[in-house]
Amino acid sequence: MDTKELVSAIEAELQKQVSRLDAPRTKPFHEMLTYHMGWTGEGAGPEATGKRIRPLLVLLCASACGASWQLALPAAAAIELVHNFSLVHDDIQDNSSKRRGRDTVWTKWGAPMAINVGDALFVMSSQAIIDLKESYSSDVVMKAAEILHNTCLDLTRGQFLDMSYEERNDLGVEDYWHMISGKTSALIAACCQIGALLGGADEDQQEVYRSYGHYLGLAFQVQDDILGIWGDENVTGKSVASDLVEGKNSLPVLAGLEKKGKFAERWSQGPIQPEEVGEVSRLLASEGGLLAAQEAAKQMTDLALMNLREADPQGEAGEALFELTNRLLGRKQ
Amino acid sequence: MDTKELVSAIEAELQKQVSRLDAPRTKPFHEMLTYHMGWTGEGAGPEATGKRIRPLLVLLCASACGASWQLALPAAAAIELVHNFSLVHDDIQDNSSKRRGRDTVWTKWGAPMAINVGDALFVMSSQAIIDLKESYSSDVVMKAAEILHNTCLDLTRGQFLDMSYEERNDLGVEDYWHMISGKTSALIAACCQIGALLGGADEDQQEVYRSYGHYLGLAFQVQDDILGIWGDENVTGKSVASDLVEGKNSLPVLAGLEKKGKFAERWSQGPIQPEEVGEVSRLLASEGGLLAAQEAAKQMTDLALMNLREADPQGEAGEALFELTNRLLGRKQ
């Protein structure tokens, strides 16, 4: 299955949703949204839009359950709008000045405007999900909306945990799973569950798709954590130093801290300096932080694939789901 | 009709909705929301909660159209949650440290947490509206959700205009109506339209209720603008100086600027100082700013009452609607 056609259709649907603000008086407001979405302004283009993995999952799951993917487009857009709302607000919260190599919305227009841009993207996600009514019964639309909203509350829970963890030094691996279940995994789980719902799957099968997405999200995040410390800067496009220097409570770090060895001792003494990164990352690896994360990534990947096999996705979309999963989790076919 | 019973029921429904975050790991997060809602923390109590006018309008309109008001409670809560989401984000955007005499959420917990608190209140409004499904068909719930979401986009439009107007000095009275239609009036219009929908009114009647709310919102805002310059500090609880000193683009100010007289000259020379407030407010009144606003308030009040009469609300709730309207607009019975 050529996913390029799907990605083009997703982009067109997103532009349609965001065009709700394309009116004379709100033109500059509309431009803030199209800039963030990667369509306009400096650096606009495919590199700025991101890969649209989440909406793609919605369409593939719907198609793999037997529906035409076109019908699920409003839901795909809704999920991507939620993702982008959270990015805009995250960037303010984290004081991040760059995203995908471009200035963030708050850097360009200030935090007050950026809060409002995030709010508008958030509203549009709710409007997009209701657009499903053109092809689905009100009961199905409401179920999809319910899943979407519950997921958004999970996102705010994950965001709360993430922010409150910054000030704590007593965290363990268990806290990590709670945080990323909300922050990363909930939205990917929702993609797959909503896709299955719109594909006509029954409730049990929807749950299997949801589990697939849940573990896919966890595996992806753990992998990202590993790359954030030991990754190749040329591949990931961000400084490998950043996660240690930023003091991020990633899985390798929390696993390392639980060992209460030399890494934990150094971590407790204050921020890691850029020039120490090589030494501290080697220390963390030697005390088992890397291995623990690799094992967790493998477990989550296995669970994702197990659930995907159980879901038994059909046709070309089913094949594309396996391909995408393997690609995201860095596995050979 | 004793509206106290309704207000108590609204409070209970709001607490139920917000309790979605009442779990061990998110307890401090839940407390941020209950603090903002006026239920916990320093200064908690009836003075901190606000008057819950908006949800009351939802219940009264539903009841005046023939439904039991209890059925509309989730929608009433949804509207009040939207209102409170916008207050939390507004306070960050306006850099306001106090609301109803208490520290704002961002003052207590910082802007990053406050953004997330607003987001959570926003999500909960969408969840609350879907709770209508216990008493209404999916078609009605979807219609209510659609009105709510469209209104929220109007709020972001109004907020954008409000913030972008701060930097402009070429505004006229027409710009004012656009801004407050989004910022103030849209949500009050939605209260009445959703109330009528849930009361079983047909589409035409829903529109009449909507118009009533629209003009009620406009009248209320214009009145607030007048009080913001010439009001009695002891009655309004905020410094009468504030609107002029803050440089707020209120209706009297914009009407005064259009005269291009001495007020406009002073306004263009920079911020009004607290010690000038008496003189500048007298200047604005002498150049017609007060009269123009009083006339506009009267027009909007007349339009609100005309639409309310056309809506012909029934029973005790109908009487309560007239009473509430007269009270809000400062008119004798």
pLDDT tens profile A43-83: 999 999 989 999 999 999 999 999 999 999 999 999 999 99
Are A252 and A293 within 8 A, CB to CB?
Answer: yes
- Residue B220 — very low, low, confident or very high, per pLDDT cuts 50/70/90? very high
Nearest one of A29, A102, A61 to A191, comparing CA atoms: A61
What tokens were used for B91? 């306070």
For the stretch A186-195, pLDDT in tens is 999 999 999 9
pLDDT digits (tens, 9 = 90+) for B3-25: 999 999 999 999 999 999 999 99
pLDDT of A151 reads 98
B130 and chain A in contact, CB less than 8 A: yes
d(CA A136, CA A122): 22
Residue B333 has pLDDT above 50, yes or no: no
Give the three-class secondary structure for A102: strand
Give the whole-angstrom CA distance, residue B294 versus residue B297.
5
Chain B contact for A137, CB < 8 A? yes
Please give the residue of chain B at the shortest CA–CA distance from A132.
B142
Is pLDDT at B240 greater than 80 in this prediction?
Answer: no
Residue A333: count of CB within 10 angstroms of its CB = 6
- Of residues A145, A156, A163, nearest to B145 (C-beta): A145
The two tokens of residue B310 are: 């056309």
Instruction: Render pLDDT for A102-145 as a digit per residue (tens, 0 to 9).
Output: 999 999 999 999 999 999 999 999 999 999 999 999 999 999 99
- Mean pLDDT, chain B, whole residue set: 94
Question: Is A242 at the interface with chain B, CB within 8 A?
Answer: no
For range B36-57, the mean pLDDT: 96
pLDDT tens digits, residue range B83-142? Answer: 999 999 999 999 999 999 999 999 999 999 999 999 999 999 999 999 999 999 999 999
What is the helix (H) or strand (E) element at residue B99, kind and residue range? strand B98-99
Band of residue A240 on the pLDDT scale cut at 50, 70, 90: low
Would you place residue B243 in the very low, low, confident or very high pLDDT band (cuts 50, 70, 90)? confident
How confident is the model over B313-319, as a mean pLDDT?
97
Our CA dihedral for A68, A74, A76, A81, rounded to 10 degrees, sits at 170
Q: How far is B53 from chain A (nearest CA, A)?
A: 23
Is there a contact between B75 and B58 (Cβ–Cβ < 8 Å)?
yes
Q: Are A125 and A76 in contact (CB under 8 A)?
A: no
Amino acid at A147: I
Q: How does A221-232 read in b/e, with b if 16+ C-beta sit within 10 Å?
A: bbbbbbbbbbbe
Cα–Cα distances (Å) from A146 to A149, B25, B52, in that order, read 5, 23, 26
Residue partners of B6: CB distance under 8 A and separation at least 6: B56, B59, B60, B69
- Chain B CB within 8 Å of residue A245 CB: no
Does A160 contact B20 at a Cβ distance shorter than 8 Å?
A: no
Inter-residue long-range contacts of A46-55, CB under 8 Å, 24+ positions, other chains counted: A47/A100, A47/A101, A48/A100, A48/A101, A48/A102, A49/A11, A50/A100, A52/A7, A52/A10, A52/A11, A52/A80, A53/A324, A53/A328, A54/A79, A54/A80, A54/A83, A54/A187, A54/A188, A54/A191, A55/A10, A55/A14, A55/A79, A55/A80, A55/A191
Taking an 8 Å cut-off on Cβ atoms, the answer to whether B161 and A127 are in contact is no
Model confidence at A261: pLDDT above 60? yes
Structure tokens at B298: 């009267």
- Whether A66 and A126 have beta carbons less than 8 Å apart is answered as no
Q: How far is CA B241 from the centre of its chain?
A: 21
| Cβ-nearest to B113 among A139, A157, A163 | A163
The total of other beta-carbon atoms located within 10 Å of residue B275's CB is 8
* A155-214 pLDDT per residue, tens: 999 999 999 998 887 888 999 999 999 999 999 999 999 999 999 999 999 999 999 999
Residue A332's pLDDT is 45
Under CATH, what is the fold of the domain A3-329?
Farnesyl Diphosphate Synthase (1.10.600)
A56-60, B273-277, B323-327: which is most confident: A56-60
Q: In the structure encoding, which two tokens stand for residue A283, read together?
A: 């220390």
Residue B130 is nearest to which of A94, A149, A156, comparing CB atoms?
A: A149
Using CB atoms within 10 Å of the CB of residue A202, give its burial: 0 to 12 exposed, 13 to 18 middle, 19+ buried: exposed
Cα B255 to chain centroid, rounded: 23
| Window from A182-186, B36-40, B238-242 with minimum mean pLDDT | B238-242
Alpha-carbon distance of A313 to A65, in angstroms, equals 6
Residue of B nearest to A121 (CA): B153
pLDDT for res B216: 97
Residue B191 scores a pLDDT above 90: yes
Instruction: Kindly indicate the confidence band of residue B330, based on its pLDDT and cuts at 50, 70 and 90.
Output: confident
Q: Give percent of chain B with pLDDT exceeding 70.
A: 96
Q: Which residues of B touch A119 (CB under 8 A)?
A: 89, 118, 122, 152, 155-156, 159
Q: How many CA atoms lie within 13 A of A14 on its CB side?
A: 29
DSSP state of B273: P
Looking at beta carbons, which pairs linking A169-173 to residues 24 or more positions away fall under 8 Å? A169/A267, A169/A268, A171/A249, A171/A254, A171/A257, A172/A254, A172/A257, A172/A258, A173/A251, A173/A254, A173/A255, A173/A258, A173/A292
Highest-scoring range by mean pLDDT, A171-175, A323-327, B37-41: B37-41
Mean pLDDT of all residues in A299-303: 96
pLDDT value at position B253? 95
What's the pLDDT tens digit per position in A276-296? 988 999 999 999 999 999 999
What per-residue confidence (pLDDT) applies to B252?
96
| Mean pLDDT along residues B165-177 | 88
Question: Which range (A88-92, A163-167, A240-244, B243-247) has the least confidence?
Answer: A240-244
Amino acid in position A99: R
Identify any residues that bridge with A99 across adjacent strands, giving them in sequence order: A102
Q: What is the ipTM of this complex?
A: 0.95
- Using the beta-carbon criterion (under 8 Å), do B111 and A111 form an inter-chain contact? yes
Q: What are phi and psi of A332, to 5 degrees?
A: -70, 150
Q: What is the 3-state secondary structure (H, E, C) of A175-228?
A: HHHHHHHHHHHHHHHHHHHHHHHHHCCCHHHHHHHHHHHHHHHHHHHHHHHHHH
B172 touches chain A (CB under 8 A): no
- The verdict on a CB contact (< 8 Å) between B112 and A92 is yes
- pTM recorded for the entire structure: 0.95
| Residue with the larger pLDDT of the pair A332 and B210 | B210
- Residue from B138, B143, B148 to probe the interface with A (highest A Cβ count within 10 Å): B138
Tell me which of A121-130, A205-214, A240-249, A257-266 is least confident.
A240-249
**Looking at residue B332, what is its pLDDT?**
45
**Chain A residues touching residue B29 (CB < 8 angstroms):** 156-157, 160, 164
Q: Residue A233 — very low, low, confident or very high, per pLDDT cuts 50/70/90?
A: low
Cα separation, B222 vs A138, whole angstroms: 40
pLDDT at residue B134, as a whole number: 97
| pLDDT of amino acid B236 | 55
The domain locations on chain A are: 3-329
Q: Whose CA is closest to B308, among B65, B33, B67? A: B65
Q: Are A156 and B123 an interchain contact pair (Cβ–Cβ within 8 Å)?
A: yes
pLDDT score of A333 more than 50: no
The mean pLDDT value for B292-297 works out to: 96
